[in-house]
Amino acid sequence: MESEGYTLLNRESPDALIVLDAGGQILAWNSGALKVFGYAEAEALNALLADLVVPADRRLEQQQHMQDALAGRSTTYESVRRRKDASLLYVDVTLQRSQTAQGKVCVICAEKDVTNIKVMRDAKLMEARFRDLLESTPDGIVMANPTGHIVIANSQAERLFGYDSGELRGVSVDLLLPTRYRKAHVGHRSNYFQQPRTRAMGSGLDLAGLRKDGSEFPIEISLSPLRTEESAFVMSAIRDISERKRFEKALQDKNQELASANQAKDHFLAGMSHELRTPLNAIIGFTGTLLMQLPGPLNDEQEKQLRIVQASGRHLLALINDLLDVSKIAAGKVELVLDAVDCKGVLHEVEATLRPQALAKGLDFELLLPRQAVVLQTDRRALCQIVLNLTGNAIKFTEQGHVRLTLEQRADHGHRTVEIGIEDSGIGIPTDDLNKLFGAFTRINPARPNAPEGTGLGLHLSQKLAELLGGKIAVQSESGRGSCFTLVLSG
């Protein structure tokens, strides 16, 4: 019994006219509903209205009003709906019970988009309450309602995005974001209003703002929920971080340059150390051959000069090796091989290597070891190098008396440590200089008479290796009364 006027009204009405069965299933969907919600008739028919356009936090409200309408009580109320593109809008809803041509109970639902009216009403209210306060803040402030429409923006926000005074009122807040962010932002906004919370500046996503002229700029946003007796809002404080981003980019570029320079240095040191060690080994080797007098006898002066060449070559080779090791440690390229290491065996090896040097200076070389075996899970090469460096230093800086190596194993509250001590009766170290000992290229009083040669790398390298092994080197010393260096490693 449809009349021509009814058909025209159904087709041309700007409002959404929907017919629902008692369970909320859509039986009819006019062109106004397409305009309001974005769903074509074929998409909407037989779907549940609650699933199609009602946000999750409004479904209980929809169910209660449906029950009222089915009981014969016509109802009109304001609510929020969700479009096909996930954006939200305010609607005035009227529900009225009716019957289909087959006599089945149904509900006629008329929904009118009142978003603009609602926004302007809220804008007037919020302007009166908060305009002066928002104008006093240094950041751009934008206040939006649950549908994502701006009800108020302070002048700082208008200047930030390039809009005239009042031009942002009523527009979607999505307009201030580049297109690539908008779809995700709709979902974030809907979730935010379901669980509103304060979010600090800079704690969210890496975002960009979109100016009216289409240019983009990096921004930080902090969010704060705000509820009045009329509605809920979210207040966004927006800050242009272009200057900070430029600084970070410059810093990143500089760090990249430094990393490249570091890499070039590592390659240079590795290459040069190889190039230098090869001829040095040849010099040291041939010098040793000459000193053994294999090619023929030497007079005293020749032997003296060759021993100077040999000693200088070995010193230079040790320096190159130290430089390479320090470079590897700084670059994090030292590979440790952890194994069960017999610490007594390591000290015997050091003794065999360095005792001749001590005896040549007239020093007593003592080795005090426990009876039981001391086994440590560590890197043997690194451990040996540390003890060699410390013992070599002790001999170098001791003119008379003794050099003593000790080995102790301790257990304290279930924690086991191994301590290797290198004690000497040498010149000692002034108290004020103790904190300088382990710096790279640092030498204590190098200008004193008859000061032994050195590069200042030995102790630095030893401390770094000790740290790689999970330990440390402690030192006790007093000027003129000798020193005691203790390598402490966890067992």
223-242 pLDDT, tens digit per residue, is: 888 887 777 888 888 999 98
The contacts of residue 423 (CB under 8 Å, 6+ apart) are 394, 402, 403, 404, 405, 406, 482, 483, 484
* pLDDT computed for residue 193 by the predictor: 61
**CATH classification number, 4-113, choose in 3.30.450.20, 3.10.620.30, 3.40.50.2000, 3.30.70.980:** 3.30.450.20
Q: Which CATH superfamily is domain 338-490 in?
A: Histidine kinase-like ATPase, C-terminal domain (3.30.565.10)
State the Cα–Cα distance between residues 156 and 276, nearest whole angstrom. 65
Mean pLDDT of the region 388-417: 90
- Is the confidence at residue 201, as pLDDT, over 60? no
State the Cα–Cα distance between residues 281 and 470, nearest whole angstrom. 33
296 dihedral zone (left: phi>0; alpha: psi -120 to 50; beta): left
Q: Phi and psi dihedrals of 237, rounded to 5? A: -95, 125
- Is the confidence at residue 415, as pLDDT, over 90? no
Terminal Cα-to-Cα distance of the chain (whole angstroms)? 96
The contacts of residue 199 (CB under 8 Å, 6+ apart) are 221, 222, 223, 224
Q: Where in the chain are the domains?
A: 4-113, 117-240, 257-330, 338-490
Q: Which residue has 């701006």 as its token pair?
A: 150
Kind and range of the H or E element at 225?
strand 216-227
14, 111 contact by CB (below 8 A): no
Kind and range of the H or E element at 26?
strand 26-29
* pLDDT computed for residue 269 by the predictor: 67
Residue 291 exposure: Cα atoms within 13 Å on the Cβ side: 15
The contacts of residue 187 (CB under 8 Å, 6+ apart) are 86
State the Cα–Cα distance between residues 189 and 150, nearest whole angstrom. 13
pLDDT digits (tens, 9 = 90+) for 14-64: 899 999 999 999 999 999 999 999 999 999 999 999 999 998 888 999 999
- Is the confidence at residue 456, as pLDDT, over 70? no
- Is the confidence at residue 291, as pLDDT, over 80? yes
The contacts of residue 235 (CB under 8 Å, 6+ apart) are 141, 142, 143, 223, 224, 225, 226
Mean pLDDT of the region 152-156: 92
- Is the confidence at residue 422, as pLDDT, over 90? yes
**Cα distances (angstroms) measured from residue 349 to each of 344, 367, 385, 388, 487:** 9, 11, 11, 9, 17
Question: What percent of the chain shows pLDDT beyond 70?
Answer: 87
Do 117-240 and 4-113 have the same topology in CATH? yes
Neighbours of 259 (CB within 10 A): 10
- Is the confidence at residue 5, as pLDDT, over 50? no
Highest-pLDDT range among 273-282, 330-339, 426-435, 442-451: 426-435
CATH (residue range 117-240) = 3.30.450.20
Of the pLDDT bands very low, low, confident and very high (cuts 50, 70, 90), residue 398 is very high
pLDDT digits (tens, 9 = 90+) for 302-349: 888 888 888 788 777 777 777 777 777 776 767 788 999 999 999 999
- Is the confidence at residue 353, as pLDDT, over 90? no
